[in-house]
Structure 1
Amino acid sequence: MKAATVATVGVGATAAVIVAALVQAAGTDPVGTALSMSAPAEYRDLIEEAGNACPEVSPNLLAALLTQESGFNPKARSPVGAQGIAQFMPSTWESHGIDGNGDGKRDVWDPEDAIPSSAKYLCTIAEDVKDVPGNKQHNMLAAYNAGSGAVRKYGGVPPYKETQNYVKAISALAETPAGAGQTSSTGQAATAINAAKAMIGTPYSWGGGNANGPSKGICCSPNGRSGSAITGFDCSGLTLYAYAKAGISLPRTAAAQYAASEHVEPGQQRPGDLVFYGSSAATIHHVGIYVGNGWIIDAPRPGTQVRYSPMDTMSDLYAVARPKSTESKEI
């Protein structure tokens, strides 16, 4: 975050973390409901309790925010110095961090302190912008990202692309009907999505990744970046790995994966499909796994991590295709 001094991990200039599997029950009010998301088991009780701190916060919204900020990684550290599962900057933690577990310490790296602190901070911000017109949750999230002053100045969500994407990402995650991702996908697609989701936060490595998981890459990307010293994934290494877990063997490159998959007509994509970017089949340069509601999991580029991105993360979206069901082979 900028003015609010809480930063998003691994999303560059835009807030881009979402997954349809972490969603709220269909037809319910997003405020004040119980947690219906597949948050990590060790954090569910914390989120359930802290997520009812004030009317503007719900367990689902809090879980969505934690997914956005760190992918539930309690050791996350952003390039600008944000820390822990809720990505507090040190100055913000100093003024808003609480001793959630009563052990006598306020530890930003301890989820038992950071998760309730995040909920308390959201409530504090909600109070700051309560008189601003518009959706109270959206204004609260915008203030969490850009600062209360910006929300008051613009009379709602400010016209910052990062903040607008941040609000859309968390709101969509918290409001999507439960099971939307898996009910429209095959068991193999669900397995692939879960495998990719488990790799959130893994470093990008040019040429990295295989059927067994993250690996050291090669040199060099078009911009001269080497993955030879980085254990991680590039875009097609991630999709290859995810589908290997589902028993489907994909080729190594994005273009070859497109050629080996079945084309999906526009508007017919379902979770687990592969989303390809390029100007033609021969020039495909990027691929991600569709997770529903207009979002993908991908390994974007050198210097980033595996993350959730909007489907329009790149301007040259070429096609969507569905991997063919096969027996996984050694790669």
Structure 2
Amino acid sequence: MSFSDIEPMEVEFTVYRMDCYACEVDSLIDWRKAKLYLTPYQSEINQSALKYGIDPAYVRAVIHAESHFNYQAISKQGAQGLMQLMPATALELGVKNSFSAQQNIIGGVKHLSRLLKKYNGDNKLASAAYNAGEGAVKRYGGIPPYKETQVYVERVGILHKRYGRFSYHNNQ
């Protein structure tokens, strides 16, 4: 196995690196109509959301935005798995294998829960901190003026609202 940022010629290959799905500033995706993923990882999302007291639709929106439900996703910054946890953050959250969907979701939900508590339930600030870091949110006193973070927060909000139209609590 080898890894490269250059597409090989005349060889079968798989792309595993993936940047934040919802961060692309010039995305042509209509986030109000994009396909939703209602069933993948349903049990893991519901159990973690219940354990940490957050809305499973919000968790699903973050996973959709971060990795498009690709448990093998790796960003160019090194974030890994469904919820795109940085290795140091994953360790802090007790995640031993970021490519284990279950561990990644538990760690990511734990992190989101902590951010929501810190920002008094403000999903926009929690999303901004999840994307740009808590330091950036503190430095700017709110959503940082980074275009990538601004579109990410908007798109997570759209996805959250759309996923929120479905009930996940009764479908474990």
Flag whether TM exceeds 0.5 (same fold): yes
Any gaps of 5 or more consecutive residues in structure 1? 1-6, 23-36, 99-105, 180-331
Q: 1:159-174, aligned counterparts within 5 Å?
A: 159-174=145-160
Give the direction of change, closer, same or farther, for the CA distance of 1:86–1:97 in structure 2 (3 Å limit). Answer: farther
Partner of 2:38: 38
Q: Give, in angstroms, the shift of residue 139 of structure 1.
A: 0.7
In structure 2, C-alpha distance between the alignment counterparts of 1:155 and 1:89, rounded to whole Å? 24
* Structure in which a larger fraction of residues adopt strand: 1
Partner of 2:132: 146
Partner of 1:82: 79
Runs of 4+ in 1 over 6 A off after TM superposition: none
Contact 1:75–1:109, Cα closer than 8 Å, also in 2: yes
- With structure 1 as the length reference, what TM-score do the two structures score? 0.39
- The structure 1 residue matched to 2:114, chosen from 124, 127, 134, is 124
In structure 2, C-alpha distance between the alignment counterparts of 1:46 and 1:69, rounded to whole Å? 17
Give the direction of change, closer, same or farther, for the CA distance of 1:15–1:178 in structure 2 (3 Å limit). Answer: farther
Equivalent AA in structure 1 for residue 77 of structure 2: V
Equivalent AA in structure 2 for residue 164 of structure 1: Q
In structure 1, C-alpha distance between the alignment counterparts of 2:56 and 2:26, rounded to whole Å? 20
Within the alignment, does 1:9 sit opposite 2:7 as a pair?
Answer: no
Partner of 1:205: none
Q: 1:209-220, aligned counterparts within 5 Å?
A: none
Q: Give, in angstroms, the shift of residue 83 of structure 1.
A: 1.2
In structure 2, C-alpha distance between the alignment counterparts of 1:94 and 1:11, rounded to whole Å? 25
- The structure 2 residue matched to 1:70, chosen from 67, 71, 75, is 67
Per-residue CA deviation, residues 80-123 of structure 1 (Å, 9 max, x unaligned), is 2221111111111121244xxxxxxx211101110111100111
In structure 1, C-alpha distance between the alignment counterparts of 2:24 and 2:49, rounded to whole Å? 28
- With structure 2 as the length reference, what TM-score do the two structures score? 0.72
In structure 2, C-alpha distance between the alignment counterparts of 1:44 and 1:96, rounded to whole Å? 21
Contact 2:23–2:151, Cα closer than 8 Å, also in 1: no
In structure 2, C-alpha distance between the alignment counterparts of 1:151 and 1:143, rounded to whole Å? 6
Equivalent AA in structure 2 for residue 71 of structure 1: H
Contact 1:53–1:123, Cα closer than 8 Å, also in 2: no
Partner of 2:45: 47
Any gaps of 5 or more consecutive residues in structure 2? 1-17, 167-172
CA RMSD, 1 decimal: 2.7
In structure 2, C-alpha distance between the alignment counterparts of 1:139 and 1:171, rounded to whole Å? 11
Higher RCO (C-alpha under 8 Å, 6+ residues apart):
2
In structure 2, C-alpha distance between the alignment counterparts of 1:144 and 1:119, rounded to whole Å? 11
Give the direction of change, closer, same or farther, for the CA distance of 1:12–1:173 in structure 2 (3 Å limit). Answer: closer
In structure 2, C-alpha distance between the alignment counterparts of 1:15 and 1:151, rounded to whole Å? 23
Give the direction of change, closer, same or farther, for the CA distance of 1:116–1:12 in structure 2 (3 Å limit). Answer: closer
In structure 2, C-alpha distance between the alignment counterparts of 1:82 and 1:12, rounded to whole Å? 14
Partner of 1:115: 105
